[in-house]
Structure 1
């Protein structure tokens, strides 16, 4: 998960789409009509990190239109290009958005829905970690940082995308959380508390979907995918002797994210979906 949030607004959507059309012609390949999410429009917050890159790749492979955001335009462009080249013809674009600015976040959601006619998902991958050796050594500035990264960005994306996800008829808001939120350790007080707050906020969103859905059931779902921690190939290369016991590979997370749309909204709404054993 990436811990970048701030950045200058960058809107290259139309240029990116036009460029993709040209590249698709050159490569002569297309994912259109072949994936389980064909035609779905899915936004990914925190798209430039390892988990974001894996998610962009998997969603593009599944046939979705993918709109990634991150605060780092260079890393975002690299992630978007990787997904586009891996799956020629897939629509994958990037917007640099400050998710700590509610107005910018709403503009991102509105712009996406206006351009593509719908939004079927928001995947929240913005992350970050701060901790200490003991509980007594906890630095409350860590809380201030994590409150912004792990809570405020969830609040802004959920509020900005809520209505569009309901209009979709099969929308999903997916928060990636950590097992430590359910069983915090002494040195992770700020991190675990931030994750727990983000989970509670997401579950409140799910209750909103339940209530507006009425007797027919929710038209959208908010759910939480829980990992112990994430691992990727670079981490394994840097620590070849590490076991990473219980960690979830970013490709496995991306697959689990994609599969959520195959289950009815009523089944996943308000659920904690564990990708690691419960603590």
Structure 2
């Protein structure tokens, strides 16, 4: 089924309960990884884990409710995962959310407060909690899903674009940590950014059968691109934005 680079790997997925999480849990499990998903919604997480485990023929897919807005809870999740499975080879960061306004003038700073927690604080917590375990791995990968808007914000999208840009900068700092830790031999672990315009999944298509979703990335294609990050050498993906949509 898949990707030799992922056989026997242990991958943590943050924000595993949504449509992108479901697709990612399944793809990583099919490729031979043990997948440990976290979400703040226990019911949604349990459904996603059960669906992926069943579809992947009983593969090791585990779910754990974690409050990623709490650094200690996130650190405990990382420690428990490494202790139980002996290693952590990846953290896929799928925590998402969007708020925007019609115009720049109507921007609400409440939207910024919401998005700063969801899109930046969770990245800070997962990267700080997992970076040492990822560095210990011979194939550690931190994968952030970002948006093209981070580099080309529209007037009504200021809070979202700024939060995504900050999350990217934080992830690139993690990449620099991996680069420096690798020394002259180059990094053995990597932090990479997958850039989409927006995501689309089956339920969205069913709700809007006439919509074209131009430039959107299907969650299945995103999951494939996530798995592919492990098939490339660390130096090739570390600190890079990998574009799944046209560059703005």
TM value normalised by structure 2: 0.98
Q: Which residue of 2 aligns with 1:59?
A: 28
In structure 2, the partner of 1:16 is none
Q: State the superposition RMSD in angstroms.
A: 0.9
Alignment of 1:22-41 (within 5 A): 35-36=3-4, 37-41=6-10
Residue 82 of structure 2, aligned match among 101, 113, 125: 113
Give yes or no for contact 2:99–2:115 (8 Å, CA) kept in 1: yes
Moved more, 178-187 or 35-44: 35-44
Quick one: which of 239, 248, 263 aligns to 2:217?
248
2:230 paired residue among 261, 267, 270: 261
Q: Deviations over 1:121-145 (max 9, x none)?
A: 0000001001000001000000000
Give how far 1:89 is off.
Answer: 3.4
What are the within-5 Å matches in structure 2 for residues 201-212 of structure 1? 201-212=170-181
Partner of 1:145: 114
Pairing 1:90-129 to 2, within 5 Å after superposition: 90-129=59-98
Measure how far apart 1:35 and its partner are.
Answer: 4.8
Computing the radius of gyration over CA atoms, which structure comes out larger, 1 or 2?
Answer: 1
* Cα distance between partner residues in 1 of 2:18 and 2:62: 15
What is residue 200 of structure 2 aligned with on the other side?
Answer: 231
State the secondary structure of the residue aligned to 2:194. strand
Partner of 2:243: 274
Partner-residue secondary structure (3-state), 1:234: helix
- TM-fit CA distance, 1:278: 0.1
**CA–CA distance in 2 between the matches of 1:134 and 1:194?**
17
Aligned partners of 2:111, 2:125: CA distance in 1, in Å? 20
Matched residues in 2 for 1:104 and 1:43: separation?
14
Matched with 2:100 is: 131
- Alpha-carbon distance between aligned partners in 2 of 1:226 and 1:39, rounded to the nearest angstrom: 27
Which residue of structure 1 lines up, in the alignment, with residue 11 of structure 2? 42
2:60, 2:233 → 1: CA distance?
25
Separation (CA, whole Å) in 1 of partners of 2:121 and 2:165: 13
- The two structures have a TM-score, normalised by structure 1, of 0.87
Specify the alignment match of 2:48 in structure 1: 79
* Number of the residue aligned with 1:200: 169
Paired residue secondary structure (1:39)? coil
In the other structure, the counterpart of 2:156 is 187
Q: Is the 8 Å Cα contact of residues 146 and 195 (structure 2) preserved in structure 1?
A: yes
- Distance in 2 between residues matched to 1:183 and 1:35, nearest whole Å: 34
Q: Distance in 1 between matches of 2:193 and 2:128?
A: 16
- 2:60 & 2:3 partners in 1: Cα distance? 13
Task: Give the structure 2 partner of residue 22 of structure 1.
Answer: none
